Amino acid sequence: MAESSENSSMFRKWAMRQYWRMQQSQAVVGLLLWGTTITLLVWPYVSWRFSDQCSDGVCFSSSLLGIPSTYLGLAFIFFSVMFAVLLIGFLYDQVFSLWTEWRSVDMERNPYVTYALSPNWVMMIALQAETLKRTANEDPAMMAQADWYLKWCETYTEGEMFARSVQRWDKDMGETPTFWFTSDEAMQRARESVFEDEA
């Protein structure tokens, strides 16, 4: 059962990594696709205005400065779509300020802002907890809380993010010491971890 759950988690992580990779270009690719799609959808309704057959309403010559009007018409529609997207972005940001609520939801759903610890937070919290233990040794309640913080930090030394950090620290600065809030065994497991995206 545990193996099935681990395989499911590994598959979900692999799928999310591929999704993340696709997302990196989504903003630019999506904008270009929207622009070209809407341009080509609108063009059949206005193309007659750029031809010699146009006889009523607003008509344009078939070329301007030697450039066929078709290209100018397509470019005008495309940049109109880009301007409309920019206008919506301005309204989203400056008028409705929806990004503040989006960020709030994003933070609520981020485990590394709510309950989990990334390696840099592990180091900072462990150092503060150790300092607290050494300065508040007369207060049993504070000592108990400092011990809880250190246990919290120790828990997250078993994760992949800490393992990646240890391997990188080893590579950049030589062997990473065994920190006071973890163990030699945990550090060894971190060094021996293999990451599927780097294998």
The CA distance from 96 to 149, in Å, is 40
**pLDDT (0 to 100) of residue 1:** 56
Long-range pairs of 150-154 with CB within 8 A, sequence gap ≥ 24: 150/126, 150/181, 152/117, 152/125, 153/117, 153/122, 153/125, 153/126, 153/129, 153/181, 153/182, 154/181, 154/182, 154/186
| pLDDT band at 198; cut points 50, 70, 90 | low
Q: State the pLDDT at residue 101.
A: 87
User: pLDDT tens for residues 99-123?
Assistant: 888 888 989 999 988 999 999 999 9
Show me where the domains of the chain are located.
2-101, 113-192
Judge whether residue 98 has pLDDT over 90: no
What is the average pLDDT across 130-158? 93
Which whole number is the average pLDDT over 18-31? 87
pLDDT digits (tens, 9 = 90+) for 46-90: 888 887 777 777 887 777 777 888 888 899 999 999 999 999 989
Q: What is the pLDDT of residue 3?
A: 67
Distance CA 12, CA 31 (A): 28
Mean pLDDT of 29-38: 91
Q: Give the whole-angstrom CA distance, residue 127 versus residue 81.
A: 53
Cβ atoms < 10 Å from Cβ of 60: 16
Measured between alpha carbons, how far is 199 from 196 in angstroms, rounded to an integer? 5
Query: Is pLDDT above 70 for 2?
Result: no
